[in-house]
Structure 1
Amino acid sequence: MKHTIPILTIFSLVLFGCNNANLKEKRDIISSEHQIENKSIKSDSVYKTKKVYVPVYSNIYQRTRNEKTALTSTLSIHNTSETDTLFINRIDYYNTEGKFLRKYIESPIFLNTFETLEYVVDEQDETGGSGANFVIEWYGTDKLNPIFQAVMIGGLGNKSFSFTTDGVEIE
């Protein structure tokens, strides 16, 4: 009996540690399964290239400037075309001060027709602050009109809330 608690503690740590590794691996798989080789990308004049800015929030203020509520943010990229593939060159994440934090893809990726990809900023990750953002560079045919949105979700006590932001074209 006296060895049961330490054994259960070690088992729990191993179990939860493996789950976190699996989550990171799963996130990496989302990007890698959609990666394309640079040599297969054609830079024909039929493709347009655009940049989109999507505001997200790691946390929001409540009651006073000193009280914050942490949020989980999900960036969603939707290919709205039923005929054309959407290509993404970069997905970069910046904090409130505009400082680059990290990139979400290492090489170009694609989204098939009507496909959606999501990238999550965990609730515990407050590096972005109250005014974080993503910058996404994409390209495709002139007919493409993808949707870039973020959904933030959080809670106060026993109440939950969510809100969305839409991407805006820049440059």
Structure 2
Amino acid sequence: MNKRSLSVLSIAVLLAVSLSGCDQSVQDPNTMFSEQHKDPIKELEITSNIDRSKFKYKQTFYVPIYSDIYTDRDNRKVLLSATLSVRNTTLKKPLFINKIDYYDTAGNLVKHYLKSTIELPPMATLNYIVEKEEDKGGSGANFIIEVEGLDDTVTPVIEAVMIGNFSNKAFSFSTQGTPVIHD
């Protein structure tokens, strides 16, 4: 192979690699780590109309998320990754999730995660990852999650698990979703 052919081949390989890096679905950990390599939220979206007149349970939850914390040495910030987990604890009834919104420390909306309601089957879990590099939330970040169900036996378990490392030490901790009382 001559030098010109090698240069053209090198450029083609570099172009292919850089273009594949532009595909968000390939880089999204929620897609990469799902079994079918599909966004778990999009897979659960309901496209038809929902008869909400049958719903007897509706609740909003506040879930604290720490996208960073400070260490005791020089007030250094340590970035964390978080996994939001919404679990349907019933054996036979679906849980409907209407809202998953992510807010920063100042209370500003960072992202709406849902475009439409999703249906979480009985005993199913929706896990969603907030990457370590996503530092818009800050130390006081949170999710607001709104759920509905046929009755109050469809009460979900909502948690977040944060992991990180500092120096040569790794750590993790979790938070619980708290029902929001509407005024």
- For the criterion TM > 0.5, the same-fold answer is yes
CA distance in structure 1 between the aligned counterparts of 2:165 and 2:17, rounded to whole angstroms: 27
TM-score computed with the length of structure 2 as normaliser: 0.81
Which aligned runs of 4 or more in structure 1 are off by greater than 6 angstroms?
none
**SS where residue 154 of structure 2 aligns?**
coil
TM-score computed with the length of structure 1 as normaliser: 0.87
Tell me if 1:157 matches 2:152: no
CA distance in structure 2 between the aligned counterparts of 1:121 and 1:44, rounded to whole angstroms: 34
CA distance in structure 2 between the aligned counterparts of 1:65 and 1:131, rounded to whole angstroms: 20
In structure 2, give the amino acid aligned to 1:117.
L
Q: Normalized per residue, which structure has more strand?
A: 1
In structure 1, give the amino acid aligned to 2:152.
D
The correspondence for 2:21, drawn from 7, 17, 23, is: 17
Deviation at 1:33, TM superposition (A): 1.2
Q: Deviations over 1:47-93 (max 9, x none)?
A: 21110000000100001574100000110000010011000000000
Number of aligned residue pairs = 169
Tell me if 1:91 matches 2:100: yes
Give the equivalent residue in structure 2 for 1:72. 81
Where structure 1 has 5 or more consecutive residues not aligned to the other structure, the ranges are: none
Matches within 5 A, 1:1-171: 7=10, 10=14, 13-14=17-18, 17=21, 21-24=25-28, 26=31, 29-39=39-49, 41-64=50-73, 66-140=75-149, 141-171=151-181
In structure 2, give the amino acid aligned to 1:10.
L
Q: Which moved more, 1:127-136 or 1:153-162?
A: 153-162
Where structure 2 has 5 or more consecutive residues not aligned to the other structure, the ranges are: 33-37
CA distance in structure 2 between the aligned counterparts of 1:12 and 1:67, rounded to whole angstroms: 38
In structure 1, give the amino acid aligned to 2:21.
G
**SS where residue 22 of structure 1 aligns?**
helix
Q: Which has the larger radius of gyration?
A: 2
